């Protein structure tokens, strides 16, 4: 890949971030609301001697999720916490993007980089001003290092999982697909022991895994695929705003049953996919 094309790829990636960040201020309905409504108060409370979410109080996120929220506080001199968060995410993404595309010698990596830039532009501010935006670059770097440095990869993806649960799917995929699976497991175990040890020593043993039960108390949010029929009026459902967890959810006949069935259904689907993966690897 020529330098000009590589520079164009980088320009597209940066422009996509600039557009997504700018739309956070221009679009209605608080697309960056999570940053100043929850992340900023949570991080300030931890810094100022209040509740440390996930340690002294129950939380919907794993305890390491507080780390990037507090880190963004060090950048508030940009003008606001929301902008500080956006800059932090952009820096994380740029580091991961540099690892991904390198000097542009790999066609597949260049295509992946282009997809990432396009995805950021299409997803918009919701892809920047959410906790998931921090875990994505960490997970990307972990996957890129998985073959040559499986233990480091396990540590990175494990750390991302202790911020937001979704990277656990990547851990399962790496363990199933790679020969260095025990190194992946070892890396994840090291990170998990460190995080659990810190939380327990800080007096948060009761809240270490609280994100599992707290998430279980959620209703059916409107963005869930299973909520689609209810959004069209099935069961006389209505949309309401849950002020405790700051999400739009649906209520009506059959909603609670569907919400209860989703978790075991997801577990069965995940187990089935893992079984197929093990079968194909052995074959």
Q: Which residue has the tokens 């990547």?
A: 170
How far apart CA 226 and CA 140 sit, in angstroms, is 28
- Could you say which of 189, 209, 229 is where a domain stops? 209
Say whether both 127 and 150 belong to one domain: yes
Q: Which residues constitute the domain of residue 226?
A: 218-282
pLDDT of residue 220: 85
pLDDT digit string, tens, across residues 93-111: 999 999 999 988 899 999 9
**242 and 153 inside one domain:** no
Whether 246 and 116 share a structural domain: no
Give me 219's structure tokens. 């209703």
Structure tokens at 155: 């540590």
In this prediction, residue 255 carries a pLDDT of 87
Give the DSSP letter string of 5-18. HHHHHHHHHHHHHH
Residue corresponding to tokens 């290092």: 145
Asked if the model's pLDDT at residue 57 lies above 70, the reply is yes
Q: Answer yes or no: do 157 and 53 share one domain.
A: yes
Both 24 and 129 in one domain: the answer is yes
* Residue 105 sits in the same domain as residue 69: yes
Crossing angle of the two packed helices 168-177 and 181-201, in degrees rounded to 10: 150
Over the stretch 41-56, which tens digit does the pLDDT of each residue have?
999 999 998 999 999 9
Residues 222 and 175 in one domain: no
pTM to 2 decimals?
Answer: 0.90
**CA–CA gap between residue 200 and residue 12 (Å, rounded):** 44
User: What is the per-residue pLDDT across 191-236, written as a single tens digit (0 to 9) for each?
Assistant: 999 999 999 999 999 989 888 877 666 778 888 898 999 888 787 8
Same domain, 114 and 224: no
Same domain, 18 and 92: yes
Q: How far does CA 26 lie from the centroid of its chain?
A: 24
The residue among 191, 209, 227 that closes a domain is 209
Domain end (from 176, 209, 242): 209
Residue 29 in this model has a pLDDT that exceeds 90: no
One domain for residues 34 and 103:
yes
Mark whether 187 and 227 lie in a shared domain: no
Q: What is the mean pLDDT of residues 79-99?
A: 95
Q: Residue 263, Cβ neighbours under 10 Å: how many?
A: 11
pLDDT in tens, 227-265: 999 888 787 888 888 877 778 899 888 888 888 888 889
Which helix (H) or strand (E) segment is 50 a member of?
none
State yes or no: pLDDT of 62 exceeds 70.
yes
Tokens of 182: 């025990």
192 and 256 in a single domain? The answer is: no
Q: What is the total count of domains within the chain? A: 2
């Amino acid at each position: 890949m020529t330098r000009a094309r590589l520079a164009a790829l980088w320009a597209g990636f940066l422009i996509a971030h600039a557009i997504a960040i700018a739309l956070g201020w221009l679009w209605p309905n608080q697309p960056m609301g999570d940053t100043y409504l929850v992340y900023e108060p949570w991080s300030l409370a931890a810094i100022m001697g209040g509740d440390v979410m996930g340690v002294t109080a129950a939380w919907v996120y794993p305890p390491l999720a507080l780390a990037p929220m507090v880190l963004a506080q060090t950048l508030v001199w940009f003008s606001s916490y929301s902008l500080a968060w956006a800059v932090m995410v952009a820096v994380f993404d740029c580091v991961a993007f540099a690892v991904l595309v390198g000097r542009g010698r790999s066609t597949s990596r260049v295509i992946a980089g282009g997809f990432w830039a396009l995805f950021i532009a299409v997803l918009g501010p919701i892809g920047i001003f959410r906790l998931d935006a921090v875990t994505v670059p960490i997970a990307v770097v972990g996957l890129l290092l998985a073959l040559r440095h499986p233990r480091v990869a396990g540590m990175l993806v494990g750390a991302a999982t202790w911020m937001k649960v979704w990277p656990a799917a990547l851990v399962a995929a790496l363990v199933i697909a790679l020969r260095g699976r025990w190194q992946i497991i070892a890396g994840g175990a090291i990170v998990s022991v460190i995080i659990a040890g810190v939380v327990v020593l800080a007096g948060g043993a009761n809240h270490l895994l609280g994100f599992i039960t707290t998430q279980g108390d959620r209703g059916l949010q409107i963005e869930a695929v299973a909520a689609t029929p209810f959004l069209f009026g099935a069961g006389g459902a209505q949309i309401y705003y849950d002020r405790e967890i700051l999400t739009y959810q649906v209520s009506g006949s059959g909603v609670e049953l569907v919400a209860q069935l989703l978790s075991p259904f997801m577990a069965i689907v995940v187990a089935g996919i893992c079984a197929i993966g093990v079968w194909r690897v052995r074959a």
